[in-house]
Structure 1
């Protein structure tokens, strides 16, 4: 959230990846409202971060910074928000296929995990429609296969 025009080139030059957690940043206005009377400078800062969130992420992406999906879930946010985060990346201007890659094959590659290679372990998620055409389908999988077993 705190990337600036000065720091974006440094991240790009050094190959530092970001995980913007835009679903978490969506909570900033409510947090700012709650702290307004006691922490007005902090509240104003939180509002500024929220207002420029999409521009910040798009600028980072345009600069070549690897962008991946995460949510900071588990504290004040419930788990299961990755599909919404992919949608937020698209809203920020990242092409849908790149937003999907940020949560799947590109993330695996960044982490040094095998991709879709013959003989590699694989889990599957099946959708009624192609998520490359509309990432919103990510929130409603038809089937989930983990370790060779249908779990959903």
Structure 2
């Protein structure tokens, strides 16, 4: 191994990831999803990232907010209003009850067309 001290440090960080995330949440630090930040999940697995937040002790509604409306608000994007365009994802169950459904969407509608 080329950098054993660094690798050991990263393993220790990974071992306490849930504790660290929960402490940040409890301290009121805003948490948002984004799997392109070099974490343990491949890019594009936001549903799994939300599930990891719940596993860390973040309530499901707040974990969903981290990937949806909360992140949108933080980015300064306007909310949805009547007549506004919107993409949507349809699930078989309410993700607030079980965030695992985020990994298995029934339909994806993008710019008014069903694409998945």
In the superposition, the TM-score normalised over structure 2's length comes to 0.90
Matched with 1:9 is none
Deviations 1:61-113 (A, max 9, x none): 11111100111279x96443111101111111100111011000111111111
SS at match of 2:67: coil
SS at match of 2:89: strand
Do 1:114 and 1:121's aligned partners in 2 also have CA atoms closer than 8 Å? Answer: no
**1:107 corresponds to 2:91:** no
SS at match of 1:125: strand
Q: Which residue of 36, 52, 56 maps to 2:16?
A: 52
- List 4+ stretches of structure 1 deviating above 6 A: none
Do 1:86 and 1:135's aligned partners in 2 also have CA atoms closer than 8 Å? Answer: yes
Could you say what the CA RMSD is over the residues aligned between the two structures, in angstroms? 1.9
CA pair 73-149 structure 1, distance change in 2 beyond 3 A: farther
Matched with 2:48 is 84
**1:116 corresponds to 2:80:** yes
5+ residue gaps in structure 1?
Answer: 1-34
5+ residue gaps in structure 2?
Answer: none
In structure 2, distance between residues paired with 1:40 and 1:109: 41
Do 1:114 and 1:120's aligned partners in 2 also have CA atoms closer than 8 Å? Answer: no
